[in-house]
Amino acid sequence: MNVKHSMITIAMTVLLVGAVSGQPKPTTGYAPVNGLKMYYEIHGEGEPVVMLHGAFMTITGWADWVKELAKTRKVIAVEMQGHGRTADIKRDMSFENLADDVAALLDHLKIPSADVIGYSMGGGVAMQTAIRHPEKVRKVVVISAVSRYDGWVKEGRDALPSITAEVFKGSPVEAEYKRLSPTPNEFPEFVRHVISSAARPYDFGADKIKATKAPMFFIHGDADGVRFEHIAEMYALKGGGNIHGDMMPRPQSRLAIIPDTTHVTLMSRMSMIVPMVVDFLDAKTAKQ
């Protein structure tokens, strides 16, 4: 299977996972943040948790997750720059910019701090939010994301430049964009903008991750395209690794490797992952 066909399969799978109906109608709105009108939905009540989608995704991909988490929490699902109902602007889709948008959204909603869950691109944004706005982030769940560009396996990095709008022709990704976007005819430019940002080398800085106060839960598939060495590196920066937990204190951060799971199929492992996430978010921290 060539890159074009494999990426179509990925795109279709990502959007179809979690597409459910019958959920209570959420509170919705557009927050004016940093030149954007960022679309958001609020589901449920309780402690706030922000959910950040991956590249090319919308809130649709989180539907099952939102429904489950909203049973006990106030879930704030957002559509980041250029995605879904949030129009693109002439600004880099950098992790830093997107993290600043999340912080501004919390200010707009008058929420002092929240837990943050991010998948893929959203996982990078979640880490950057904890780095850049530590006072606004209580805990972070990072699902199949990296803190450095070379954290992805070489095959994944090499495939990025081949991704164009043509790859998604006739796919649910293209259909969802045209259905929701304020600029439905700009799909080729949207893809170009996402890929140009995703393919640019980056490094959040080991020292900055280590200095973050928020505990982090790193969740990966055993075949999700992230180098195992990098997973171990990120977890070690948050106090994990080489610890006999029966003989010494365990770190507040956590790590999970889901078996027989790829980058895309992680989204279909909700029944396995959500209970672990809830346990992590519910756990008392040293300051509590």
Q: What is the mean pLDDT of each run of 10 residues along the chain (288 residues)?
A: 49 48 80 97 97 96 95 97 97 97 98 98 98 98 97 94 92 95 96 93 97 97 97 96 84 96 95 97 76
Task: Give, in order, the Cα–Cα distances in Å from 30 to each of 90, 127, 168, 169, 266.
Answer: 18, 23, 27, 29, 29
| pLDDT (0 to 100) of residue 22 | 54
Pairing of strands 36-43, 73-79: antiparallel
Q: What domains lie within the chain, and their CATH numbers?
A: 3-282 (3.40.50.1820)
Burial 20-42 (b: 16+ CB within 10 A, else e): eeeeeebeeeebebbebebbbbb
Question: What are the φ/ψ torsions at residue 144 (nearest 5 degrees)?
Answer: 50, 60
- Contact between 257 and 221 under an 8 Å Cβ cutoff? The reply is yes
pTM summary value: 0.92
**How is residue 93 written in tokens?**
């889709």
| pLDDT (0 to 100) of residue 287 | 55
